[in-house]
Amino acid sequence: LKPANPTEEGLASLHSVLFRKQPFLWRAALLYYTIERASRLSFSALFQDLEQYVQDAGVRWEYCVRAKRGQTDTSQPGCFSKDQVYLDGILRILRHRQTIDFPLLAALGKVSYEDVNR
């Protein structure tokens, strides 16, 4: 598999929240946090750790399963880290939003914003 493109994932993530009544980025932030914690915790410890942010046990379970997917032994630290690309991409785009040529970026397709001027 090709690595995820932070620009593409960030734009998609921003677009998914842009026109909501409350355009918060909590889901991307929670995914990022979950992956960071999953890299250091077992499944059960991660499940307990997330309780401070996610009270619903079913939703918490889904976040843990998502973070631990592909792991052969979920009692050990480890994670599937692709979900961190969403917040990473969002923050990259927001940091450089004044200088990004968005129409050109959209026209070019699957290109990182850093490569647009090349």
Please report the pLDDT score of residue 113 as a whole number. Answer: 65
pLDDT band at 4 (very low <50, low <70, confident <90, very high): confident
The model's pTM: 0.84
- Helix axes of 26-38 and 57-68: crossing angle, nearest 10 degrees: 60
Please report the pLDDT score of residue 27 as a whole number. Answer: 93
DSSP 8-state code for residue 56: -
Q: If we measure between CA atoms, which residue out of 118, 94, 66 comes closest to residue 7?
A: 94
Please report the pLDDT score of residue 95 as a whole number. Answer: 94
Question: How many Cβ atoms sit within 10 Å of the Cβ of residue 9?
Answer: 22
Please report the pLDDT score of residue 118 as a whole number. Answer: 60
Per residue in 43-91, pLDDT (tens digit) is 999 999 999 999 999 999 999 999 999 999 999 999 999 899 999 999 9
pLDDT band at 2 (very low <50, low <70, confident <90, very high): low
Structure tokens at 88: 């990473």
Per residue in 92-106, pLDDT (tens digit) is 999 999 998 888 887
Structure tokens at 89: 């991409």
